[in-house]
Amino acid sequence: MRQSTLKFLAVALAMILLMVACQKNETPPPPTQSAVATSQLSAAPAETIPATRTLPPAPTVTARATEKVTATPEPTPTVNSIFLQSQDDFGEDINPLTGLRVSDPALLDRRPLAIKISNAPAKWVRPQSGFNDADLVFEHITEAGITRFTLIVYGSTPPKVGPIRSARLIDLELPAMYDASLVFSGSSEGVRQKLLNADFRPRILFAFEPGYYRTGEDKPIEHTFYGIPETFWNVLEEKGLNQRPNFNTFMAFSSEIPEGGQPANEAIVDYDWTIINWHFDGMSGKYKRWTDGVEHLDANTDEQVTAANVVVILAGHILDYNICEQSYNGVCTSYSVQPQIFGTGPAVIFRDGQRYDVTWQRIGRYDMFTFVDDNGQPFPLKPGNTWFQVIPIWYENPVDSNP
């Protein structure tokens, strides 16, 4: 039915299926914040809450005059008016992380890579490599308040990724959510012990394995560590671990623009330490990223970072006082931050120049993020890549938008 050109038949089928589901009492009730998430949220130390500050003027949006390398053509979106939201919907050739049909179905027979990328200091690490080839990007705070990224690379193959940095507590969750292999430079001792005991331990690619390399650039050595995804997949193949992932849940996708949105041609995300502006580009149908008023580029192509969807995840964050990330004279000065990305919570989705306030869900450990509207119905993302901005729920006014 997805291939039918008769739109009214597709809509009628969707209505019939919805009526049958309702008769069977299969429609889930609207989710509420779980007691677990509420109790963990209250545990956040008051002294870690950053002060608010005035947002700087939005950057001037101008066209880039030249580009060093032509971007790899985007996969052709699956055009449909019925949600993609189950394994049967995605079939063998549609990427469940993007809703896009891939040129070669064999690309989906490999394991996703969860790759840790740094974001500070800007003069040493930007522009980073690999953002626009990632299906998903997670940005989160660290113990110092700065942000760091985890890329989920699956349907596309960037020639290189980096600079690769150390893991944080959020990386105990993401490989489980996406049945991924973890690629990172190292970690604090407390995080390392948790990783060694994690259920995805066999899929961890440590820094001494093939695929990692130093660039030899004239800058602090910790910012010169890069990796080659193709080699990482070869290593997993040799270990017998490079296989199609087993996703426990699925995000919904639809090329149809959902109703109920508010105009949002600009999304503003304030991490206090850094401010991100996403501007919607009507020509490409994507949001373009500026960081602190500067175009954020992907060094692999020198093209601006873009996203079909920008999803703000608001979640409780707590400090793990058993894990020290930084110490001075034997005294711990920074404890590890743990985002509470399980249960349910508020989310804001930007797609197609529209803003939608929804609810995120992640009930089981092996579930990925899914989204529901105010009626408890699945909310679809636009087919394409997605940026997740994971933000402490106690930040004051961390997300804003302009029409």
In whole angstroms, what is the distance from residue 387 CA to residue 278 CA?
11
The band of 86, judged by pLDDT with boundaries at 50, 70 and 90, is confident
- Whose structure tokens read 């974001």? 119
Per-residue pLDDT at 58 exceeds 80: no
What average pLDDT does range 88-112 have in this prediction? 95
Per-residue pLDDT at 293 exceeds 60: yes
More confident residue, 102 or 28: 102
Per-residue pLDDT at 80 exceeds 90: no
More confident residue, 266 or 53: 266
Per-residue pLDDT at 8 exceeds 70: no
Which amino acid is residue 112, in one-letter code? P
The reply to whether omega before 121 is within 30° of 0 (cis) is yes
Report the percent of the chain where pLDDT is more than 90.
77
Query: Distances from the Cα of 64 to the Cαs of 172, 176, 289, 351, 364, in angstroms?
Result: 38, 39, 13, 23, 44
- So what's the pLDDT on residue 75? 53
The band of 310, judged by pLDDT with boundaries at 50, 70 and 90, is very high
Report the percent of the chain where pLDDT is more than 70.
80
- So what's the pLDDT on residue 54? 38
- So what's the pLDDT on residue 45? 34
In whole angstroms, what is the distance from residue 357 CA to residue 306 CA?
21
What average pLDDT does range 208-219 have in this prediction? 97
Per-residue pLDDT at 333 exceeds 60: yes
More confident residue, 139 or 45: 139
Whether 190 and 324 have beta carbons less than 8 Å apart is answered as yes
- pLDDT tens for 152-197 read 999 999 999 999 999 999 999 999 999 999 999 999 999 999 999 9
Per-residue pLDDT at 67 exceeds 90: no
Per-residue pLDDT at 380 exceeds 50: yes
| Size of the chain in residues | 403
C-alpha of 72 from chain center: 21
- So what's the pLDDT on residue 172? 98
Query: Distances from the Cα of 371 to the Cαs of 45, 73, 281, in angstroms?
Result: 28, 28, 24
Q: What is the mean pLDDT of the chain?
A: 85
Per-residue pLDDT at 277 exceeds 90: yes
What average pLDDT does range 382-386 have in this prediction? 97
Where does residue 22 fall: left (phi above 0), alpha (psi -120 to 50 degrees), or beta otherwise?
alpha
Lowest-confidence segment of 68-77, 128-137, 279-288 by average pLDDT: 68-77
- So what's the pLDDT on residue 270? 97
The gap between the terminal CA atoms of the chain, to the nearest Å, is 36
Domains of the chain: 103-248+261-314+344-402 (3.50.90.10)
Per-residue pLDDT at 13 exceeds 70: no
Per-residue pLDDT at 34 exceeds 90: no
The band of 102, judged by pLDDT with boundaries at 50, 70 and 90, is very high
- So what's the pLDDT on residue 82? 56
What phi and psi, each to the nearest 5 degrees, are found at residue 252?
-90, 145
